[in-house]
Amino acid sequence: MKKNKFLTKCFFFYVIILFNNIYAQNKLFKYDLEYKSNQKKDSIILKKMVLDIKDVSISIFRTEQQKISDSLIAFTGLGSERDMTFESQFYVKKDMSKDEILKSIETIFREIFFIKIDEKFDWEILPEKNKIVNFNVQKAKINYGGRSWTAWFTTEIPIQDGPYVFKGLPGLIVKISDDKGNYNFNLTEIKNGNDKVYYRNKGLDLTWDQYKKLLENYYTDPFARIKSMGIPVKKDDGHGGMVSVDMKQESDGLRKMIRENNNPIELNHKIDYK
């Protein structure tokens, strides 16, 4: 895992001053997510993530592109960036007033689903302290999703939140990683947020069992709906023309990609694709 990336000490000193007026406006925290989509390989995927804090009680964690897409949808009805697989989606909404955490996924047809996270966040706060850039941080541990996690949080930022589903420590989570080195979240930047925060707020609720069934059906025939519509599918031939898509070849390729990138963050809900 490559070295953590943080801003300069001068920047973070400025950030601490900003937090003297923390409740006056929305905040935005940027994180680097480095993870292994295949735990048997050394290759690392880097995703630029953002945590929007809206009106103190609502937070949205997603990629930078998903944040842009949510804004486009709000204004035009059209968004961007759709993942072809579900295991690589990390969109989470937290409502602190309801003590509710929702993991959201989106299909290639822009269907939105929400899964309620019911696991208890029983943190073990340890006496060990450290300094990340010029934040004083303290160590904590937790088990979530079939993984053991170590976090470093700072009470200098009085927000009991963090990346992805993680929350409930007496300060912002600056860094959190699992003990196998498969997932690593690092805070990289803090900014004042926009007055308006656009995010997914409509969709169908799923249980984990229903989510599993959705993924299994998708793996069995990824383009079933497209084929059922009888619409001819074409793609760029690389020379300015269009050629028909071999749907069997495309499906086989996607199933192979799903099998080879099957290291979900919720390891306890992993599907053994054949």
List the chain domain ranges. Answer: 9-192, 208-269
pLDDT attached to residue 225: 83
Q: How many CA atoms lie within 13 A of 126 on its CB side?
A: 13
Strand partners, 100: 95
Contacts (Cβ under 8 Å, ≥6 apart) of 172: 29, 153, 154, 157, 158, 159, 160, 161, 162, 187
> Does residue 113 contact residue 214 with C-beta atoms inside 8 Å?
yes
> Does residue 60 contact residue 199 with C-beta atoms inside 8 Å?
yes
Determine the Cα angle at 234 with ends 230 and 240, to 5°: 160
As separate numbers, helices (DSSP H) first and strands (DSSP E) second, the chain gives: 5, 14
pLDDT exceeds 70 at position 12: no
Closest CA to 222 of 253, 190, 192, 198: 253
Average pLDDT over residues 207-233: 89
Average pLDDT, the chain: 89
Higher-pLDDT residue of 77 and 101 is 101
Secondary structure of residue 156 in the 3-state scheme:
coil
Task: Domain 9-192: give its CATH architecture.
Answer: Clam (2.50)
Q: How far is residue 186's CA from residue 188's CA, in Å, rounded to a whole number?
A: 6
CB atoms near residue 37 (< 10 Å)? 18
Quote the tokens at residue 155.
């009470």
Q: How far is residue 106's CA from residue 69's CA, in Å, rounded to a whole number?
A: 12
Measured CA to CA in angstroms, residue 249 lies from 34, 107, 133, 233, 242 at distances of 31, 20, 49, 13, 17
Secondary structure of residue 181 in the 3-state scheme:
coil
> Does residue 183 contact residue 193 with C-beta atoms inside 8 Å?
no
Closest CA to 125 of 105, 154, 88: 154
**pTM across the whole model:** 0.87
Q: How far apart are the first and last CA of the chain?
A: 29
> Does residue 88 contact residue 105 with C-beta atoms inside 8 Å?
no
Higher-pLDDT residue of 24 and 146 is 146
pLDDT attached to residue 102: 98
Higher-pLDDT residue of 230 and 122 is 122
- Return the percentage of the chain with pLDDT > 70, whole number: 91
Average pLDDT over residues 246-267: 93
Closest CA to 90 of 52, 61, 121: 61
pLDDT attached to residue 3: 46
DSSP code of 147?
A: E
